[in-house]
Amino acid sequence: MKLTRVFAFMALAGLAGSAYATNGYFSHGYGMKAKGMAGAATTNTEDTFFGANNPAAAAFVGDRIDLGADLFSPIREYSRTGSAGGAGYFDGDVKSDAELFLVPEFGYNHMVNSNLALGVTVYGNGGMNTDYESGQLDMGMCMGGPPNGQPANMLCGQGALGVDLVQLIVAPTAAYKIAPNHSIGISPLLGYQRFKAYGLQGFTPLSNDGSSLTNNGIDDSFGWGVRVGYLGKITPTVTIGAAYASKMDFQEFDKYSGLFAQQGDFDIPENYNLGVGWQATPALRLALDYQRINYSGVDSIGNTSQPPIAFPCGSGNPTCLGGSSGIGFGWSDINVWKLGAEYKYNQNWLFRAGYSHNDNPISSANVTFNSVAPAVITDHITLGFTYTLASGNEVTMSYMHGFENDVTGPVNMYFPVGGTDKIQMYQNSLGIQYSWKM
């Protein structure tokens, strides 16, 4: 019966939209217990989200099921000032209407024997989910002529402007204790992603294939990778852990082969994390994690948005949108630091708090292209708790606030309206999780 619930929730997760945009387009944490501690989970053995954090932890988790969902609210804004030599003809300010998302996740673990664990984690990434209304600019002026009264969006496209990215990852996991206090684990990463873009007609001259640039509806692709990990309880109070995830190689988005570099390629970058946990007192546990996300290893994300394009663009031009070395979002590799605390108040109540800081992947030179994906949050605080029921099952909640941040830079050189662009965002999330101990 419990496994039936797991697979039903797995189907729900596959249909729900993923909208995280905290550490780039990675979530600040996976699992509500980790999210209550700002994502510090490399040494966590209290839930089944090891497939997203550290596969080796499964060997210490025991038999359990965790089902959770986050209500995530990113507030994003895009503005331009000083365009057209200060005349302001292309100035504007618009706020994304995509402000509320439900993001489910779940995990399952079974101890085959005292040393071997088999489980599965299902989780999501995302963050490029924006929806800006049209009408800030005039299409006639966008085309280099007099105003004609036809509305255009902030990037001189027709209709609303935005993108929608969903990434679902299923991570079956095996972990084995190589010694009583040490384990290793592996999680094959099986990915599904879907994407759509609209309102980007203004960039048609920069694309190798304008018919595969925008407004082509939803496209999807499948991909794979692997995560490996180690966990060691080196003293009765100190635990260390490490995990590495390869780049997830996905099929190309054929409908958007004129947008993403390498004819529609959009992979998930390699990343790794290191962590240490300290049981400072019988009631207080502290955890510190370091994470590295190598966005530059994915051309469509890491390539700069301002390379020297060899005009005219067309089929086979490597420097244009969709080309083998074409325009990207210009994201840099980032470092993420996560610090969390967990306090056991009594047998029923356990409280959590955390703080994390990450580099901003978006530089001022790449603001215009990132208006549709303004992942500029760098600081988060979190709170959470777990209540243990009489049955031994648990209810866990977490809250996250991502502090407002912005990036300002010159309008992209290939969008010749001049002025200064600004993208900004803040966010909140509130999640709940129910856990069965078996």
What's the pLDDT score for residue 5? 47
Question: What is the tens place of the pLDDT at every residue in 231-276?
Answer: 999 999 999 999 999 999 999 999 999 999 999 999 999 999 999 9
Q: Which range of residues forms the domain containing residue 279?
A: 2-437
Residue 139 contacts residue 154 (beta carbons within 8 Å): no
> Does the N-terminal peptide bond of residue 312 adopt cis geometry, omega within 30 degrees of 0?
yes
Three-state SS sequence of 124-174:
EEECCCEEECCCCEEHHHHCCCCCCCCEECCCCCCCCEEEEEEEEEEEEEE
Question: The domain that contains 205 carries what CATH number?
Answer: 2.40.160.60
For residues 4 and 365, the model is more confident at: 365
Taking residues 6-32, report their average pLDDT: 66
pLDDT higher at 176 or 20: 176
Q: What is the pLDDT of residues 362-420, one digit of tens each?
A: 999 999 999 998 999 999 999 999 999 999 999 999 999 999 999 999 999 888 899 99
Confidence label for 314 from pLDDT (cuts 50, 70 and 90): confident
Which residues, at least 6 apart from 434, have a Cβ–Cβ distance to it below 8 Å? Answer: 66, 67, 68, 393, 394, 395, 396
Q: What is the pLDDT of residues 122-143, one digit of tens each?
A: 998 866 689 999 999 999 999 8
pLDDT tens digits, residue range 214-224? 999 999 999 99
pTM exceeding the 0.85 threshold for the entire prediction: yes
Q: What is residue 128's predicted lDDT score, i.e. its pLDDT?
A: 67
C-alpha distance across the termini of the chain, in Å? 12
> Does the pLDDT at position 150 exceed 60?
yes
Mean pLDDT of the chain: 93
- If one counts the domains in the chain, the total is 1
